[in-house]
Structure formats: structure tokens, C-alpha cells
Amino acid sequence: MKLATWNVNSLTVRLPQVLDWLQANPVDVLALQELKLTDDKFPHEAFAQAGYTAQCFGQKTYNGVALISRTPALDVVKNIPGFDDDMARVISGSFPLGETPVENSTNESTLPLSNKGLRVIGAYFPNGQEPGSDKFEYKMAWLDGLRAWLRQELLTHPNLVLMGDFNITFDDADVWDPEGMRDQIHCTDEERYHLQALVALGLSDAHRLFPQPAKSYSWWDYRDMAFRRNRGLRIDHILVSRALKPLVSACQIDKTPRKNERPSDHAPVVLSLDTP
DNA sequence: ATGGCCACTTGCAGTGGA
């Protein structure tokens, strides 16, 4: 089973690339961020023709997230319950863990789907703009809200994946120029504290479970030929719960779409799970 | 060596991204 996350920076512009990518990488679930479109403009038909269904949580101009999947997402929740937010940043859904089960009404497990299934949270974390700014304060409050909610979610959904554009680096290994970016946005101690607090809930950075190429990044500035010079940041992450960790067989950043014409500034990250 | 971004807006300059 494969899951992926990708900040597409406008689904309107990037839809052909997303469809091409899905054809080459037929993942079971794809979380998208920065749709930059409203729900009424979401291209459901294009995804249906590609064999996918979609749950979207759109917003005009900014933000907007979606879950694209082979089987429909169940128990869909939008944003963070308990955290009042006027931005569309989070979408969650449940999926069968592994192969789509054969229908059998006479032999149903007594376990609710939430316990045996896979809970997927796709998230577009706030950027924060600049330490000390109002947007940074919002980012910190949002992270507090996320953690309080996740602590509860993990109790009811032991098989949980949190993936998306976190807009935070774990440490200097995620930064092309650690000295130049010290205490800058995405690299501050406060942001990294929040990321470690998610780890303390029992979530593991899937990328670091495996040997990775040196200087692995998921985002490169459009300016200064940053991609060709590999001047990037690793800010797109896939975190897995304790129960899922033993099933993770790979986690890879796919730089291929960043080489497209008119690419997103982010690359997709792909998680492979060894499921029955 | 150096500078060069991109998407969106009741739009043609300003905001936000990262």
C-alpha cells in the first residue's frame, strides 16, 4: 500500500501534472495541499476518469487540501476540531488498511473500522512568514491545537498517518544552508519544538527510518535556480504512529515532477506500507 | 560570477508563499 503527499501550489495549474504523476505512481491515497480553489471548482471528473475519488476542502486563493484515493475516504473530518480556523488546512479520512477487503456481511469483525483501518490526516501547516509576526503567532497556536487534537485521535486511531506540508524542518540536515537560515522561518527552535512534540506523541518521521540521499529536500525556491543547485528544505513530511511504524517499508521524495515545465515548488513524498 | 520566481486578485500592483 502506498500513500503520498504533495503541495501542488494551485491545482488549477498543476492538475495535468498530478494526473500524469498518479498514472506513473498509482498510490492508494494522495494528500494534496495548496489547491487554491473552492470546492465547486474541484476537478472531480478528471480524477474519476483516472480511477480515483476525491474529498476536498477548498478555499479561494489560498490554502485548500484534498484526499485523492482509490477507495472513498470514510469519516471525513475537515480542519482541527476544537481549533477555530477560517483557513482550509486539514482533511482527514479513513481507509481499509491494505488490500480492499472482500465484502462479507456474515463475518464482520467486532472491531470498529477506526481501530483496524488506516486514519490519514493531510495537512497544510501555516507558513508563519517571520518569527515574531502575527502569522508566526497563528502558526504556534495552530500547532498547539493540532497536538491537542492528535493526542486524542491517536487513542481512537492507532493506525495513523499525518502527512503534508509541515513548513518546519526537523534539524539542520533538512536545510541546504543551516548557518544562513539559522532562526529563520521553518528553522526556529520554537517550530522545531512543536515538531518534536508531535514525535513525543508517538509519531515517527518515516523519511528518517531509512538511509536517504545526502541533502534530501522536498521544496526549492523558484528563484536563483535553487532546484538545479539543490538549495532546498525538507518541510514536507510523513509521520506514522507507533502501530504503523513496523509496516513502513520505504519513504521517498520524488524529485521528478520538480523537473517539469511550470512545476510546483514542492516535490511529492511517498510512503510504502507492507500490508497484508 | 551574477542575477533570474510564481500564483492569485471583482486585478495590471500588491500579497503571500517559503
Coil, helix or strand at residue A162: strand
Question: What class, spelled out in words, does domain A2-99+113-273 have in CATH?
Answer: alpha beta
Domain ranges (residues) in chain A: 2-99+113-273
Shortest-distance nucleotide from A34 CA to C1': B17
Instruction: Reply yes or no on whether the pLDDT at A108 is more than 50.
Output: no
What's the mean pLDDT in A258-270? 97
Phi, psi of A83 (to 5 degrees): -120, 110
CA of A181 to C1' of B5 (A): 19
Taking all residues of chain A, what is their mean pLDDT, rounded to a whole number?
94
* Residues of A with catalytic function: 124, 165, 266
Q: Is the pLDDT of residue A93 over 70?
A: yes
Q: Which of A76, A94, A91 is nearest to A32 (CA)?
A: A91
A6, A18 Cβ separation under 8 angstroms: yes
Distance from residue A223's CA to nucleotide B3's C1', rounded to whole Å: 10
Residue type, A123: A
pLDDT over 90 for what percent of chain A? 92
Longest alpha-carbon distance in chain A: 62
**Interaxial angle between packed helices A189-200 and A134-156, expressed in degrees from 0 to 180 and rounded to the nearest 10:** 10
More confident residue, A222 or A101: A222
For residue A12, which nucleotide's C1' is closest to its Cα?
Answer: B7
Q: How far is the CA of A274 from the C1' of B14 (A)?
A: 49
pLDDT at A92: 98
| Predicted pLDDT at A276 | 74
Residue nearest to nucleotide B7 (CA to C1'): A10
Mean of the pLDDT values across residues A55-77? Answer: 97
* Nucleotide lying nearest to A218, CA to C1' measure: B18
Residues making up the binding site of A: 7, 34, 165, 167, 265-266
CA to C1' distance (Å), from A224 to B2: 10
* pLDDT 10s digits, A34-59: 999 999 999 999 999 999 999 999 99
- Indicate the annotated binding residues of A for Mg(2+): 7, 34, 165, 167, 265-266
Q: Kindly give, in sequence order, each residue whose CB lies less than 8 Å from that of residue A249, ignoring residues fewer than 6 positions away.
A: A272, A273, A274
Closest to A30 in 3D by CA, of A254, A230, A269, A275: A269
Closest nucleotide to A235 by C1' from CA:
B18
Å between CA of A174 and C1' of B2: 27
pLDDT at residue A114 greater than cutoff 50: no
Neighbours of A258 (CB within 10 A): 20
Strand order in the sheet with A236-240: A74-78, A90-95, A118-124, A160-165, A236-240, A204-205
Task: Identify the band that residue A233 occupies on the pLDDT scale cut at 50, 70 and 90.
Answer: very high
Task: Please state, in angstroms and as integers, the Cα–Cα distance from residue A21 to each residue in A36, A126, A198, following that order.
Answer: 19, 26, 30
Q: Taking all atoms of strand B, which protein residues have CB closer than 7 Å?
A: A 7, 9-10, 12-13, 34, 36-37, 60-62, 126-127, 129, 135, 165, 167, 185-186, 219, 221-225, 233, 235, 262, 265-266
Distance CA A194, CA A144 (A): 8
Residues above pLDDT 70, as percent of chain A:
94
- Tell me which residue of A255, A248, A239 sits closest to A123, measured CA to CA: A239
Q: How far is CA A59 from CA A27, A67, A80, A163, in A?
A: 25, 15, 16, 19
Distance CA A199, CA A197 (A): 5
Nucleotides of B under 7 A from a protein CB: 3-10, 16-18
Pull the grid cell for residue A167.
513548513
pLDDT for res A8: 98
The per-residue pLDDT for A111 is 47
pTM over cut 0.95: no
Q: What is the mean pLDDT of residues A56-67?
A: 96
